[in-house]
A and B are shown apart, each in its own frame.
With several copies, the nearest count.
Chain A
Amino acid sequence: MQLDHEIVAGNLVFRVQGELDLNTAERFRLYVDDAMDRHRCYQAVLNLRKVTFVDSSGLGAIIGRYRRIAQRQGTISIVSPPPHVLSVLELSGIKKIIPVYSSEQKALAPEARMA
């Protein structure tokens, strides 16, 4: 797994590459929490376009970020999950609590950030 982040219009956009599983979940957690704390920004966009695998350990790390952000009155959204990642998001019910967008632009649009 490789991670990258960028601030776009007051949002922290995280771009994740590779596999999000038991082996990488902890590094994902540390990276995201640290970036948010350092920038004091709790408006997160997770771009999963280049994610090749997610299982329940990976989902747990995403839900964990959702909870932490919610406590800080922030927002989180998911962008461009590939088909097999989407089916895992759907089965877990995460799609009902975290909005999923087809592009970063859509996730960053003012209408989306109202939600």
Chain B
Amino acid sequence: MHERKTVLEGLVDDGGISVGHNNEVRLEMLALPENVGLARVSIAAFASQIDFSMGEVEEIKVAVSEAVSNAVIHAYPQGGWVKISARLTGRLLEVEVKDTGKGIEDVSQAREPSFSTEPGRMGLGFVFMESFMDGMDIQSIPGRGTTVRMWKECRPVEGSND
């Protein structure tokens, strides 16, 4: 299902620096629903600099979307700023999504599938972040804000597609 996209198509390949490299980008945006897509697209473009498969880039998009949506919905009922930073170190992508909003009282409860403090929401945000990335770490202080850190490694392609 995850076709690698940087197999030398024809002769020369493109944009993706397959060997892994170091890079960093920071993004600050108003916590608005219409900015969730912007965050997703930007981090996907960043991740595409190394040879993540198309399926993996889709997974990264979901994870980023969940983290930023949470900041919009839960952290800032009155609005605020979300900071996203992303780093590539060799073949490792790290993404941090940070707000200075409401914070989470009980982080381990929040991570449970189906747990949500908001009626009508699915309680799957953290589940998706964990499933679609290699790992996730949540730092939160009630009244001070939340920082979600996630990472995913870009594994070398073995033979055909995985």
Q: What residues of chain A have their CB less than 8 Å away from a CB belonging to chain B? A: 1-5, 17-19, 21-24, 27, 31, 53, 55-57, 59-60, 63-64, 83-84, 87-88, 91-92
Contacts and interface: CB of A to CB of B under 8 A. Distances in A.
B40 interface: yes
Tell me what chain B mostly uses at the interface: helix, strand, loop, or mixed. Answer: helix
Contacts of B10: 2-4
Interface in B1-23: 1, 9-15
Given A23-B37, A27-B12, 18 more contacts: A2-B9, A2-B13, A3-B10, A5-B11, A18-B15, A22-B69, A23-B33, A31-B11, A53-B58, A53-B62, A55-B65, A56-B122, A60-B122, A64-B120, A88-B128, A91-B124, A91-B127, A91-B128
B15 A1 contact: yes
Interface residues of B, number: 31
17 contacts: A1-B12, A2-B9, A2-B14, A22-B72, A23-B37, A27-B12, A55-B65, A55-B66, A55-B69, A56-B122, A60-B122, A83-B1, A84-B59, A87-B1, A91-B124, A91-B127, A92-B124
B29 interface: no
